[in-house]
Amino acid sequence: MKIAVLISGRGSNLQALIDDVSKPGGPGEIVLVLSNVADAHGLKRAEAAGIPTTIINHQDFQDRVTFDAAMTEAIEASGAELVCLAGFMRLLSTPFIDHWRDRLINIHPSLLPAYKGLNVPQRVLDAGEKEAGCTVHFVRAEMDTGPIIIQARVPVLADDDADMLAARVLEQEHVIYPKAVRLIAEGRVTVEGEQTLIDARPADVPDNKA
Ligand code: GAR
């Protein structure tokens, strides 16, 4: 499977995907890393792995729809069949999301549908949660919604600060994102009635509809 990865920053999830595709029997090939930020560290990771990169700066466009159309053009030119958002910090327009429907996935550092949006670890701590986690899901028009493919849970520990908790969650992100990509590459994932099915059975997540 040909994969495009969209980033805005550090790119540690991109690295997890790069590492997984380079294993024998990997899920495919990353054909493009696209960043909206010119100095995103993830671009260096892509270059080190010999993956083509493109920078499309959202500030060069009049509005979200034309920015997103430029991204679609670049992704299509790469031949990618699956688009992975990996710390891509721009909201996407409905035409983009509809165009890539069920071929566009995201990783989010919470147990969706809880804690959509930003600053998740601090909000989880402030709420006194005992458990945190991360989610890979298909992308729908509303932010951080869409059929859930896979989740991982981690404990919140008594002396956690936001950075400690974020690091514990991130470790699991690096496990479940490559897993989700493999499941899709193996043709084991479908979406029916906004529910993710894996091997024709509902995905094993408590709330399948984000
Ligand atoms: C990750 O924690 C990812 O879940 C989060 O940004 C971080 C990117 O890190 N994404 C979101 O919050 C999207 N709503 P990375 O650049 O090292 O992969």
Q: Assign domain 1-100 one CATH number from 3.30.70.20, 3.40.50.170, 3.40.50.1970, 1.20.1630.10.
A: 3.40.50.170
40-57 residue pLDDT tens: 999 999 999 999 999 999
Q: Domain segments of the chain: what residues?
A: 1-100, 107-210
Task: Output the pLDDT for position 204.
Answer: 83
CATH number, span 107-210: 3.40.50.170
Q: Which of 99, 204, 104, 186 has its CA nearest to residue 145? A: 104
Task: Output the pLDDT for position 131.
Answer: 98
- Please measure the distance between the N-terminal and C-terminal CA atoms of the chain and give it in whole angstroms: 26
Tell me how far apart the alpha carbons of residues 150 and 111 are, in angstroms, rounded to a whole number.
Answer: 10
Percentage of residues in the chain having pLDDT higher than 70:
98
SS3 42: helix
pLDDT band at 205 (very low <50, low <70, confident <90, very high): confident
Distance, CA 108 to ligand 1 centroid (Å)?
6
Q: Establish whether residue 145 lines the binding site of ligand 1, counting it when its CB lies within 6 angstroms of any ligand atom.
A: no
Q: Establish whether residue 173 lines the binding site of ligand 1, counting it when its CB lies within 6 angstroms of any ligand atom.
A: yes
SS3 21: helix
pTM of the model: 0.97
